Amino acid sequence: MVSGRRVLVVDGLEETEQVLRAVLEPRGHEVSRVQVGGVDESRCERRAPSVVVLHDDRSPESRLALEKWGRVPHVVIGSADLPSISDGSGQYLRNPFQYRELIQAVERLLGTAHS
């Protein structure tokens, strides 16, 4: 059963996508990963994501991704707080992060928190 909810990992590690897939896909969510500015970015245009997970490496590409998907509920993983997530639509995780806290943040934003 697919919920229609889609989690998009932007410029993240392949491991991040794999962990989120393992946890969220059995619950009916789709998880995919793209590289901003890369060929893969065209994949994300087929359907708007429900939640975006953005690895902030302070690159211009990461900033563009936040501008593009900043209105979508998002989790930013980085080394410093970003002002754009103070509007309540985002969560911030400081590097290094734990996958458990990432999963909890994504579930909160999806509105499907599991205990």
Given pLDDT bands bounded at 50, 70 and 90, which one contains residue 82? low
| 88 closest CA partner among 108, 68, 114, 60 | 108
Q: pLDDT: is 55 or 115 the higher one?
A: 55
Q: What is the mean pLDDT of residues 23-43?
A: 77
Whole-model pTM: value is: 0.79
User: Tell me, what's the pLDDT at 6?
Assistant: 92
All domains of the chain, ordered by start, with CATH? 6-110 (3.40.50.2300)
User: Tell me, what's the pLDDT at 87?
Assistant: 55
User: Tell me, what's the pLDDT at 1?
Assistant: 45
